[in-house]
């Protein structure tokens, strides 16, 4: 939730800067896409911190879904900041559906692996 709220605030802040200062100096240039780039870069850095790689016998990578969820939350936040509520709601439903399906797949995959190792 905090990632989404932060993304909303950054987009709204950028829009406020553009509308407030645009008329002061006609030579002043604003590029709203830079705000999107900054949010994506910052959130990607945050998401990268959630990814763990374990080496050894059981090599595995954990946290990819968490990192992707954080990035998707930021995108939804930016969409809300641009007042595209239908797109934000539809995206959120899709994200929750995908996360639910991934969760079911992981649960079945890991529960099946444990059953085989016990026999």
Give me the average pLDDT of each 10-residue run along the chain (119 residues).
76 76 68 81 88 82 86 89 90 90 78 52
Give residue 70's domain range.
Answer: 2-118
pLDDT at 112: 58
pTM comes to: 0.72
How many independent structural domains does the chain possess? 1
- Alpha carbons 18 and 8: distance in angstroms, whole number: 16
């Amino acid at each position: 939730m905090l990632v989404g709220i932060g993304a909303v605030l950054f987009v709204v802040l950028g829009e406020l800067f553009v509308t407030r200062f645009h008329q002061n100096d006609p030579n002043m240039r604003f590029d709203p896409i830079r705000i999107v780039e900054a949010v994506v870069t910052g959130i990607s850095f945050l998401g990268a911190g959630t990814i763990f790689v374990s080496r050894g016998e059981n090599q595995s990578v954990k946290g990819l879904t968490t990192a992707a969820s954080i990035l998707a939350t930021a995108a939804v936040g930016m969409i809300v900041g641009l007042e595209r509520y239908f797109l934000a709601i539809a995206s959120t439903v899709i994200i929750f559906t995908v996360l639910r399906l991934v969760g079911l797949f992981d649960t079945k995959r890991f529960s099946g692996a444990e059953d085989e190792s016990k026999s």
